[in-house]
Amino acid sequence: MDKTVRFRVRLKDNIADVKIMIFHPMETGYRKNKHTAEMIPKHFIHTVKISHNGKSIMQVHWSRSVSKNPYLNFRVPNAVSGDELSIAWDDNMGESGSGTATIS
Amino acid sequence: MNLSKKRRAFLNSALALISTLLIPVKGYARWDETAYNEVDIADSIRSIGIRNPGELRDASKNIELSLPEIAENGAIVPIKILSKIPKTERIFVFAEKNPQPLVSDYIFTSDVEPFVASRIKMGETAFVHVIVLADGIFYRTARQVKVTIGGCGEE
């Protein structure tokens, strides 16, 4: 487990409203380093896998056009207190990260 | 039942079990590099499996799309999509004038609502197209966002 993912989960009427933020530069490859004038290489998350109590429920594909420190909001029905939500991401440079939250 | 028949029955059931184990549990489409690298909106839309744009059904009433009319900062444009089309399997987002128009795609199972909110970058004023795949049929809606300061060369 790492600290790249931050969760905010609200449970209402058995629907979990899940908001996550992933700390990631999401570089487009079109930006210049102000000091060296060199182009900053593209660096972005392309896949996010989401599961509920270990069962895969959703898959996300992103590009360089998703904002820095990506925010994602989704809704999980049939959720109860104590359920586990987890996400795992992969980027174009072979880096990855994950996070888990327990619904309170 | 003689021995060879028993043996055959055992082998058959063993083979059946092995083939069951070999079938992948879940088949999500993978991140499609070709589609994400297309630079023209028409090619980009074609690349997700739409041969003829005429087959896209207008669904502006069944796809709730929230976007700002004016985005002062193109680096952070909030977007919210709710599909009311039954059996929504997938939602694609395109920013027409970005260097690569395909922004994101979301694959849903029946264990999650066909809803998503995120933040995208927009290089300039352009239409944002949302395409929903439901029960094998593609639906679309679009909205223009006026961008004051472009967000592709920025953070």
Average pLDDT over residues A77-97: 97
Across the interface, whether the CB atoms of A31 and B103 are under 8 A apart is answered no
Interface mutation target, options A49, A65, A87, chain B, most CBs of B under 10 Å: A65
- Domain limits, chain B: 30-149
Across the interface, whether the CB atoms of B121 and A71 are under 8 A apart is answered no
Chunked mean pLDDT (size 10), chain B, 155 residues: 67 63 67 97 95 90 97 96 98 98 98 98 96 96 93 61
CATH, range B30-149: 2.60.40.2470
Measure CB to CB from residue B116 to each of A57, A67, A74 and give the nearest one: A74
What is the rounded end-to-end Cα distance, in angstroms, of chain B? 74
Q: How far is A79 from chain B (nearest CA, A)?
A: 10
pLDDT by residue (tens digit) across A49-80? 999 999 999 999 999 999 999 999 999 999 99
pTM: 0.88
pLDDT of residue A23: 98
- Domain limits, chain A: 5-29+36-102
R_g of chain B, CA atoms, integer Å: 22
- State whether residue A6 is helix, strand or coil: strand
CATH, range A5-29+36-102: 2.60.40.10
Instruction: Return the beta strands (E) in B4-155 as ranges.
Output: 57-58, 63-66, 70-73, 77-83, 88-95, 102-108, 115-120, 126-134, 137-149
**Rounded-to-integer distance, Cα B26 and Cα B114, Å:** 18
Across the interface, whether the CB atoms of B111 and A30 are under 8 A apart is answered no
